[in-house]
């Protein structure tokens, strides 16, 4: 069953398997390899200096870093329509301009620094919902958005622990709600996993 309900220019002809550096045609095997490498790359980001600010270029670089071992499109905006279930994401011809607009708005808000916790959560939920609605990459959107959020929060003096959420279903459901213009569940989820960062200096 195809995750994205259409034939993809990113897949090997006649398959739903994404073209990959390992030339794997078995989707299950590819997902296993992808998980191993992406977890490794995310662990590197966890101990690396934060991007500051986490601007448009940093966002694209996070995606490139996570999936660089697997896919040729790592760090590149998608060039085709994609949808999941009843959600159809932004048209590729509008992605560049819309993504730039989101990050210009984020910059105008000083990357959410110096905000009290309730307002920080509200604005973070807003920007995460905007990025999710764009779904700017062919694969790896969730991982990239979560790492982006972690770094944005850290730069703003907050700790964001996605690991506190058991499984991904709760996160996915919160983003589905946000896609339908309701950020309540996403804000509630963020409230559960965001704490004030301790000063280690």
DSSP state letters, 41-59: HHHHHHHSPPPSS--HHHH
Alpha-carbon distance of 96 to 91, in angstroms, equals 10
- The phi, psi pair for 9, rounded to 5°, reads -70, -15
Tokens of residue 151, six digits = 């770094």
pLDDT at 199: 59
- The phi, psi pair for 185, rounded to 5°, reads -70, -35
The full 3-state SS of 146-158, as one line of letters, equals: HHHHHHHHHHCCE
- The phi, psi pair for 192, rounded to 5°, reads -75, -25
Residues whose CB falls within 8 Å of the CB of residue 55, separated by 6 or more in sequence, listed in order:
103, 106, 107
pLDDT at 2: 47
| 106 neighbors 156 (Cβ within 8 angstroms) | no
Mean pLDDT by 10 residues, the chain (201 residues): 65 95 98 98 97 98 98 98 89 97 98 97 97 97 97 98 89 91 95 84 40
Tokens of residue 201, six digits = 């200096």
């Amino acid at each position: 069953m195809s995750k994205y309900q259409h034939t993809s220019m990113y897949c090997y002809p006649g398959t739903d398997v994404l073209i990959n550096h390992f030339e794997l045609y078995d989707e299950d095997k590819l997902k296993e390899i992808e998980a191993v490498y992406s977890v490794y790359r995310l662990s590197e980001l966890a101990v690396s200096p934060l991007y500051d600010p986490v601007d448009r270029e940093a966002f694209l670089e996070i995606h490139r870093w996570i999936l660089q071992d697997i896919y040729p499109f790592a760090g590149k905006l998608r060039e085709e329509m994609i949808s999941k279930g009843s959600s159809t994401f932004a048209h590729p011809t509008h992605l560049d301009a819309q993504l730039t607009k989101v990050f210009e708005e984020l910059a105008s808000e000083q990357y959410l620094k110096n905000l009290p916790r309730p307002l920080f959560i509200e604005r973070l939920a807003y920007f995460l919902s905007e990025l999710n609605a764009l779904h700017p990459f062919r694969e790896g959107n969730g991982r990239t958005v979560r790492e982006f959020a972690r770094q944005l929060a850290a730069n703003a003096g907050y700790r964001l622990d996605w690991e506190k959420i058991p499984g991904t279903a709760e996160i996915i459901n919160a983003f589905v709600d946000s896609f339908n213009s309701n950020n309540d569940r996403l804000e509630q989820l963020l409230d559960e996993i965001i704490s004030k960062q301790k000063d280690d200096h």
